[in-house]
Structure 1
């Protein structure tokens, strides 16, 4: 069965480079931009920003599941060595949690939009602050996986294959 799968390259991937970071950067940008639009709309009373926020959250909800799929594939192919495993596990746990949290917030936003498209309660903005903090922590963990532990970098892949890293 394995002979039908494409061969892995020097990044230990069946495709040229990691896809998870590309997709997840869209999610990060859309979630943060949605929150900024809500803040601008709230303080400026320019309610068109609420519409922009809604659509950003809607597409972020779809995109985060695509990011998770590629994240799971790439985490499995990374052959994480012992010291990186706790960070990768926490990053995975928060990623899955964020998918549910973002979906729930988007659902809440949809209900708010149906009730009154020109109003967002302060509680929603408070949740946006918490979501922003969680997203920043998740970004920190992802950066740590790449820039500190070097997952899917050629040198680390070679070191794992040679048994230098375990």
Structure 2
């Protein structure tokens, strides 16, 4: 343990949480990709399909970076009893969502390879479902920060003092 950096008042070895920064990048890219698909489909502006593809591609890579930091920060979080079920659900759903995003991106790659100027309606439907899944995962993350206060100074201090269990 002497070779590990000391934990700060956020209970982290670095200045502040990194997971939310990376994950907001992923959320924005997924939402923007689906928006570009929908606008491109209804306006027949096929150049937006290329924008969507690259957003999905980089979101797929970035979600694994977000998961790595999420796992590190979840492991360092003071997970008191009330937060455990939400943290576990957020973790399991995050891993599952990464698989869904990979599958959607792979499907999109096949569609793009066959005809870069068209998208089938079922793909757009899956995109709308994906937006719903991302919004639910965002809600769980918001609960962890804004309701349960993970990695906030107040909660870390309360846990260290033994007033929070």
TM range (shorter): over 0.9
TM-score normalised by L of structure 2: 0.99
- Residue 90, structure 1, aligned to residue 89, structure 2: yes
5+ residue gaps, structure 1, are none
1:103 Cα deviation (Å)? Answer: 0.5
Question: Could you say which residue in structure 1 is the equivalent of 2:16?
Answer: 17
Question: Could you say which residue in structure 2 is the equivalent of 1:31?
Answer: 30
Distance in structure 2 (CA, Å) of the matches to 1:119 and 1:60: 21
Q: Deviations over 1:11-45 (max 9, x none)?
A: 00000000000000000000000000000110000
Question: Could you say which residue in structure 1 is the equivalent of 2:162?
Answer: 163
SS state at 1:13 partner: coil
1:162 Cα deviation (Å)? Answer: 1.1
Q: Report runs of 4+ in structure 1 exceeding 6 Å deviation.
A: none
Q: What do you get for the CA RMSD once the two structures are aligned? A: 0.4
SS state at 1:3 partner: coil
Question: Could you say which residue in structure 1 is the equivalent of 2:58?
Answer: 59
Question: Could you say which residue in structure 1 is the equivalent of 2:46?
Answer: 47
Distance in structure 2 (CA, Å) of the matches to 1:165 and 1:84: 11
SS state at 1:24 partner: helix
TM-score normalised by L of structure 1: 0.99
Question: Could you say which residue in structure 1 is the equivalent of 2:7?
Answer: 8
1:164 Cα deviation (Å)? Answer: 1.0
Number of residue pairs aligned between Structure 1 and Structure 2 = 165
SS state at 1:4 partner: coil
5+ residue gaps, structure 2, are none
1:88 Cα deviation (Å)? Answer: 0.3
